[in-house]
Homo-oligomer: A and B are copies of this chain.
């Protein structure tokens, strides 16, 4: 670890053209590593980094309706190999480490394509992981070919400068208040960036991977105080800057592309900082848990092979391992089979089907209620 650290430390460059004071609430144009190397050391409270994910997309993907998916094919996301990506990652992480205060923390966001490279590298550089936080997307893009699980989340790593770093900011009570007085968990349900918030040039997205402000809101509420400085080395269209300004924090943005910088400047200029007393009213909304029937089976509340019967004992059906039912000539969901055996157009399987316990019939909805109670 220390070997990697000292080697990369050389990348910090000479201190000759180093700035004495941190330029604040500005976007600095250039390659993030060389710009970072010009900034004064230990001057930044928090770094939020959204580096290229190195997606390695191959062919074009079409939706079932034949429309084309507009994938990320920007030049900035192209790397020749894992090695090249690892070197890049180590270099910017090391440059970040120098400008971060000893009490500072680092956030990095990524997907399975790159996050294991990033996590590995930052642990090697002695960063100390405080949490990994899952951004659960309420509206992810589906998997169109039915080949995998819907890729419905991204991962953030939150880390301090070292295992024995003390005094980092974590606004525990503010987050708990935001979360209806329950501790904030490591999984966050937040929609993707769309609608008015999404920056466009005509009908084209300005940036392929603009992050939602709600995500940065929670990150900054958790790990910064008003007046703190947040640095974003992959500034893009400036979500970090916009939210920082709104929340009364300072930002430093680093970005190469002129088009992104212009869009970010315009966007941030339009942001009105909030009064401090307003901030405390924002709360996280709670999701209403949907409980699929298959979950009752998976959890053992209903066993595969168990026989369900309707309230008047006219029809029966047997539970299969995937949570579907099988009856005379039909199989399908609890609703489909319930409808089919009755010859009805539709049926609410939750109230239609029952389990027999000691001669008594119990609607399966009872088990769903039980599961909901456990979840929340």
Chain A contact residues, CB within 8 Å of chain B = 1, 62, 66, 81-83, 111-113, 115-120, 123-124, 129-134, 136, 138-140, 142-143, 146-153, 155, 157-158, 170-175, 177-181, 183-187, 189-191, 213-214, 217-218, 221-222, 247, 274-275, 277-282, 284, 289-290, 292-295, 297-300, 304-305, 318-324, 326, 331, 333, 342, 344-347, 374-376
Contact = CB atoms under 8 A, between A and B. Distances in A.
17 contacts: A113-B129, A119-B119, A146-B183, A149-B186, A150-B183, A150-B185, A177-B322, A178-B297, A178-B322, A180-B294, A190-B299, A274-B321, A278-B305, A278-B320, A278-B321, A279-B304, A282-B322
Given A82-B124, A185-B150, A323 B177 contact: yes
Given A134-B187, A139-B374, A180-B294, 9 more contacts: A115-B116, A115-B119, A116-B119, A136-B187, A147-B172, A150-B185, A177-B333, A179-B292, A217-B298
Given A117-B123, A274-B304, A66 B281 contact: no
Contact of A323 (B152, B178, B190, B318): B178
Copies of this protein in the assembly total 2
Contact of A191 (B183, B289, B293, B374): B374
A138 B375 contact: yes
A128 to B, nearest CB: 10
A375 to B, nearest CB: 5
A185 B112 contact: no
B82 A1 contact: yes
